Amino acid sequence: MRIFLIAAALAASLLPVTTSAQGDLLSRMSAVNAGLHSYTATLHAHVVMQTFPFLQTDLQGTYYHKDPDLSKLEITGGLPGIAQQFGKLYPRIEPPSRWKDVFNVTTLSDDGKTAHFKLVPKKAGNVTSIEATVDDAAATVASMTWHYSNGGSAQMNERYSMVKGYRVVTAQSGNVDEPSYKGTITTTLTNYTMNPPLSDSVFAQ
């Protein structure tokens, strides 16, 4: 019986993931926090630079988001040079509800517990592809890896908590490996404000 179960599991893992299964998971991911359309959060980041000048520092900032696709990280405290680099390199995370609009989405695997997606931007740019790992049960992104046209990459793991009735990211850990910058990042997000009235001008560069 044990051998049969192992064989059955292996056979299931080799079956292609159907389009309907992919669509069901993406739909559930898009439905998480359906009533949350904007938010702000206080971000605290510990950054360790593994390239010159080999510093480590703590940064503070505010993260803004407004549906459908406006996001901004404003660094307000920390070493100016590192803060400027961090603000530019902090990966942009598109919400799952936007994936099919901006990416060609391929499901690489899904064992019922964890799904692996490959996201290729429809518009050519700095990002060539993204690998996303999704928790099937929670329908949330557990980790993402960005691949850049300059050969660099960034990777981020995410931890969620229920805050004011919504499941939101409260901790992250990851690394950035760019040709001119390598480092590790650990962040926490606190002081969430849900559905504040944010003007589009907040996101102007």
For residues 111 and 149, give the distance between their C-alpha atoms in angstroms, rounded to a whole number: 31
What per-residue confidence (pLDDT) applies to 22? 60
> What pLDDT is stored for residue 53 in this prediction?
75
CATH code (residue 143): 2.50.20.10
| pLDDT score of 78 | 81
The answer to the question of residue 76 being in a domain is yes
**Within-domain flag for 101:** yes
Structure tokens at 30: 């898009």
The CA angle 107-115-20, to the nearest 5 degrees, is 55
pLDDT of residue 6: 27
Task: Give domain status of residue 10, yes or no.
Answer: no
- The pLDDT of residue 116: 97
Q: Is residue 5 part of a domain?
A: no
Structural contact between residues 181 and 174, judged by C-beta atoms closer than 8 angstroms: no
Report the C-alpha gap between 161 and 169 in whole angstroms.
6
Boundaries of domain holding 73: 16-203
pLDDT value at residue 75: 87
| Bridge partners, 46 (sequence order) | 58, 186
Mean pLDDT for each consecutive 10-residue tract of the chain (205 residues)? 30 42 83 94 92 86 92 84 66 86 95 96 93 96 95 95 96 92 92 97 85
Record the tokens describing residue 62, joined without a space.
Answer: 């505010």
Indicate the number of domains in the chain: 1
3-state DSSP helix/strand/coil % of the chain, to nearest 5 = 25, 50, 25
pLDDT of residue 85: 66
Q: What's residue 92's pLDDT?
A: 75
7 belongs to a structural domain: no
pLDDT of residue 88: 60
Q: Which pLDDT value is given to residue 191?
A: 98
Distance in angstroms (rounded) separating the CA atoms of residues 195 and 37: 6
Tell whether 9 is covered by a domain. no
